[in-house]
Each structure stands twice: as structure tokens, then as C-alpha cells.
Chains A and B, each alone.
Chain A
């Protein structure tokens, strides 16, 4: 992990082939092929069917490739996606050490079965619930595979609920805590210091630049994003 650049992590929904193609050419250090969060349930089987080919295509263009999955869907997602060319997974809504261990066990089996080196697949823990944040240290240290941690789209889906004011009052506390936890656990904290009205991943390039500057000053070392035009600002700041 540390040998690789990991400034920008561009998410692309597997249900949108044009988004995947754009991501591959975006200059992102990592392209995260999403199988679950931005893919309608009816499209998920097709997404899984196509992901092996997409990994090969995107990786050939330069970026490392991760896939995004969740503890509840990872069995099907990982069976579809763990093939040579895959560098890691983003485990969204990670909450417990036990979940991490069972994901790891599955990864070991698949790595063996599919001719990948043991431990080849890294994990980014995306903490999107109060429980996941509370137990962040245990979740992160549950597996040596965990290379990075992020709050994910915490402000959108976490069970603390969005702030009625539209501001992200809980985020500074959660971000600062996560940065301390990540450093104590020896993994990379990913994120940016978004401000209202931005909900983060869909920010303009200029606001992304400012969020990355603040994020870098707070301790983040790279960030996830959803639009190709956010990649350049992230790469320039998290250099």
C-alpha cells in the first residue's frame, strides 16, 4: 500500500459503463468499482457479471482497482470480483471486527482458488455508522489487510442522521477521532474536510480543492470522490 500513490479514489458505479470508462482515464490513483451502493438492486447481478472484465480494462489504463462492497453482500460481490488485477476492496458500513474477519476468511479462500498471492487483496474500512466509528480501532486492527480507513459517506447515511441545519456538526469530531485512531492503528486515513452545502463526494473541483487542503492539514492522506473532475484537485493537494 505504502508503495502506491493513494491520493484520489474515484468511485464508479458498475451499472454505468460510461462512468467506468471515464474513471479509467481520469488520472485517479485508484478506481473503486461500486457493486452495491450506487447500483440499483435489479442491476446488481449484471454488475457482478461484468466486474471481472471491468477490473482488467481499468487496470490496464493505469489505476489500481478496488471494488466497493458491504458486509451483507460481500459473499456474492467478492466471488464476482476477486480476480487477478484487483488490488483491494472498500468495505462500506463496516461495523465489527467479526465482520472484518469473516471477509478476510473469504478473501483467503478466493485468493487461493484464483491464483492470487495470499493477502494480495487490501481492505479500506468505510465506517458509516455510529457503531463502526465507536469501535473503529477494533475494526481496523481486526485484519492486517486493512490499509486505510474512511468515514465513507457518513454524512449521508450514518445512523446519527443528517443535521437538520444542513451543516455537518458531528463531522469534525468524527474525522479528528478517526485520524487519531488510524495513526494509532497504523493505517491511512482517507477523507476531506467538506463544508456545507457540499455533501462531499459530489463537490465542485474548487470546493474539492479547499476540502482537500483542510483535510490534509487535519491529517487525511487522500480522499474518495465521485466525479472525474475532482481527481486533479485531490492529486494536487494530497501529493
Chain B
């Protein structure tokens, strides 16, 4: 299986670095990843290092969203052992991604971090970025996820989207196809929440996150803590799905042993692509379970402190 299929980063909770209370509480929300959002004019950049440790207490991967205008200062504040990577906002060219890559590489070396280990999450926030996605996400091997910031894209196009008319089918489709082709995970919520994010009841969030998954997204960047649980659930194979796919694999193996590669099961035809998909689902379920166990362990240790 490719690396893509086992990257478990279902939820990525955005936390403002300036919001001290949110930084303290972030680890308890069970997000797979937490991204500290650094303001251009953040005065206390020296505190980012401690904040990384703080938000990692629940086992989340930690990212820092830097700013184009203060890139070097932000990277210097953020690149420390314990960081998983950098979220690059408003990416519009391969050149700027390469430049960020070089700067991160220098800091990795300087600070005793394994060379090339820090990842990039690319944020596309403009028509320019959407149009040039292919060269942007191929500009650095650090890029593991790419997301469309639909609020920012709406602002770039100077539009107020109507909830009943999705203006970003094309942009989101382009994201899913280009990302998948480049072995990068596409990240995003379904419309209209993608362009008009807000807090919603868990059931509604679960439904839209499931839709996002079926659009080819591999996770969701969560602006609100209450998105995390329904997003994690929507991107985790259900026990029913796991059970069905176990049976698929068994039935298919029996069929192959008997000399056929097409086996009926509960009225469905199991053939090679169905079996291959079952492998993916089961691997994903296992990876999710392992990730959840990891996070549970971290949370338990810190809760008992």
C-alpha cells in the first residue's frame, strides 16, 4: 500500500497561538493533528516551542501555520523537535514552496531534526493556487496534504457563495484528482460548510464529513473543536464496514484457491478491484485503531498527572 493510504490525519484542529486558553485546552479534543495558527505580528514567538509541547499532550501531530509576510521569523519560531510540519498558507507557486523547503532544511540541520522529516500542508486560497496546484504540490517531497481554503477562495473571487449553489465543485474536484495523482492527501469539508464554516450539531457534521470523504478528501481541517469527533468518526471505517471487508477477503481467497477470481457474496460480485479495496479499508481501519490507541495512551498519561 502507498504511504497515502495509511496517513491517519482525519482531523486537524486549528488553534490560534494568541489564544492562551485555547492552546492549553487543545490537547483534550482528540484531534489527530493540531495546527497552531501564528499571527504575523505575534510578539511572543519564543513561546511557540512550549506551545508545541503543550498541544502535543494528547498525542496529536503538531503543525504551525506560518505567514508569507513573516516566513523566516515564523519558521525560526516553529521548527523545533516535536513539530510534525508547517502549514503554508496561500500557496501560489512552486518557487515559494521550494524556498520554504530550503529554509526548513536549514533549520532542521541547525536544530538536530532529521533532515526532510518535517512535512508541509499546502493551503490553496486563491484562483492562482488552484490553477497551479500541480506544480505547487510537486515542488517539495515534504508536501503530504493539500487543502482548499474555500472562504479565502471566495474572497479572492470576490463572491458571496449561496448555500444552495456550490461554486467550487470544479476547484474541489481538481484538488482531489491532482492530489491523488501526486500521492498527496486532499483535505477538505463538503459544501456548504467548506465555504461557510460554522458550528453544527454532531450528526450534521458527521454527514458532511462523510460526504467529504466520498469526494476524495482524506481529512478535514477543523476551525472548531466540535468538528473533531464527528470528523474522526466519519473518516474511520465503521465496524460493519470492517466486518464486511473481512468477509470479502475471506470469500475472495476461497474463490482464488478454487480457481475463480469472481465470487458471489450476499448477492454482490467480489472480484480483484473489490478485494483490493477491501485491503485498503482494512489497512485504514487498523491504522486508525493504532492511532487512536496512541492518542488514548497519551491522553491517559497526561490526565492522571
Contacts and interface: CB of A to CB of B under 8 A. Distances in A.
Interface of A: 137, 172-173, 176-177, 179-184, 193, 213-214, 216-219
B156 A217 contact: no
A176 B131 contact: no
* Main secondary structure on A side of the interface with B: helix
Identify the interface centre among B131, B157, B165: most chain A CB within 10 Å of its CB.
B157
Contact of A184 (B127, B161, B167, B170): B127
A164 B159 CA distance: 32
A184 B126 CA distance: 8
Contacts of A214: 162, 165
Interface of B: 126-128, 130-132, 156-162, 165, 167-171
A216 B158 CA distance: 9
Contact of A216 (B130, B159, B169, B171): B159
A217 B162 contact: yes
Contacts of A213: 162
Contacts of B131: 137, 180-181, 184
Contact of A218 (B127, B128, B132, B167): B167
Contacts of B162: 213-214, 217
A2 to B, nearest CB: 13
13 contacts: A173-B169, A176-B170, A179-B167, A180-B131, A180-B171, A183-B126, A184-B131, A193-B165, A214-B162, A216-B159, A217-B167, A218-B159, A218-B165
A214 B162 CA distance: 8
Contact of A180 (B130, B160, B161, B165): B130
A183 B170 contact: no
A173 B171 CA distance: 9
Contacts of A216: 159
**Across chains A and B, which 9 residue pairs bring their CB atoms closest together, nearest first?**
A183-B127, A176-B170, A184-B131, A218-B167, A219-B157, A217-B162, A184-B127, A180-B127, A184-B128
B169 A176 contact: yes
A184 B93 CA distance: 12
A214 B126 CA distance: 20
Given A181-B131, A184-B127, A172 B169 contact: yes
B171 A217 contact: no
Contacts of B130: 180, 184
A219 B127 CA distance: 11
A192 to B, nearest CB: 12
A218 B157 CA distance: 9
Contacts of B161: 217
A179 B169 contact: no
Identify the interface centre among A137, A216, A218: most chain B CB within 10 Å of its CB.
A218
Contact of B170 (A177, A182, A217): A177
B165 A179 contact: no
A213 B162 CA distance: 9
Given A180-B127, A184-B132, 18 more contacts: A172-B169, A172-B170, A173-B169, A173-B170, A176-B167, A176-B168, A180-B130, A180-B131, A180-B171, A183-B127, A183-B156, A184-B127, A184-B128, A217-B159, A217-B162, A217-B165, A218-B159, A219-B158
Contacts of A182: 127
Nearest to A178: B170
A148 to B, nearest CB: 15
Contacts of B169: 172-173, 176
Contact of B167 (A137, A181, A219): A219
A124 B68 CA distance: 34
Contacts of A217: 159-162, 165, 167
Contacts of B132: 184
Nearest to B170: A176
